[in-house]
């Protein structure tokens, strides 16, 4: 079974609107962390936001927030007030406590922001 699933290969959003990128995960490890990264066409992976499995509140970082639903094993990224510069690939990743620092990535979602 896929450990990280991103079901939206591509998405369009209108500039200034909010958008939600989906991520579901599968683990039997009680302690894990969930990450979102942005990858522009240049290739560099840019860290956006982190959610720990024991965190009581959803993580937020500026225009990014993470909708963490532990029972559903989902960790959706919400981008508010989309900007043209948000056009990129977005990857959800998981680190399980039993796997050291290894990140397991989903297949990614390509977000395109329309002016």
What residues line the site for other proteins (CB under 8 A)? 33, 35, 37, 42-47, 50, 91, 93, 95, 99-108
Euclidean distance between CA atoms 37 and 45, whole angstroms: 6
- When the beta carbons of 100 and 115 are compared against other proteins, the nearer one is 100
Smallest separation, CB 52 to other proteins (Å): 9
- When the beta carbons of 9 and 115 are compared against other proteins, the nearer one is 9
- When the beta carbons of 81 and 97 are compared against other proteins, the nearer one is 97
Smallest separation, CB 2 to other proteins (Å): 11
Smallest separation, CB 42 to other proteins (Å): 7
Short-list 91, 17, 95, 87, CA closest to 52:
95
- When the beta carbons of 35 and 68 are compared against other proteins, the nearer one is 35
Smallest separation, CB 38 to other proteins (Å): 11
Structure tokens at 11: 């998405």
Short-list 14, 11, 23, 20, CA closest to 82:
14
| Beta bridge partners of residue 24, listed in sequence order | 5, 74
Burial class (CB in 10 A: 0-12, 13-18, 19+), 9: exposed
């Amino acid at each position: 079974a896929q450990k990280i699933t991103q079901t939206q290969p591509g998405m369009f959003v209108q500039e200034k609107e909010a958008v939600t990128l989906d991520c579901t995960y599968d683990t039997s490890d009680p302690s894990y962390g969930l990450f979102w990264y942005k990858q522009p066409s240049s290739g560099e992976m840019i860290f956006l936001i982190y959610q720990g499995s024991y965190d009581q509140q959803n993580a937020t970082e500026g225009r990014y927030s993470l909708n963490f639903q532990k029972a559903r094993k989902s960790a959706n990224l919400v981008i508010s007030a989309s900007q043209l510069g948000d056009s990129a690939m977005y990857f959800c990743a998981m680190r399980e406590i039993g796997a050291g620092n290894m990140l397991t990535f989903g297949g990614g979602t390509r977000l395109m922001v329309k002016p």
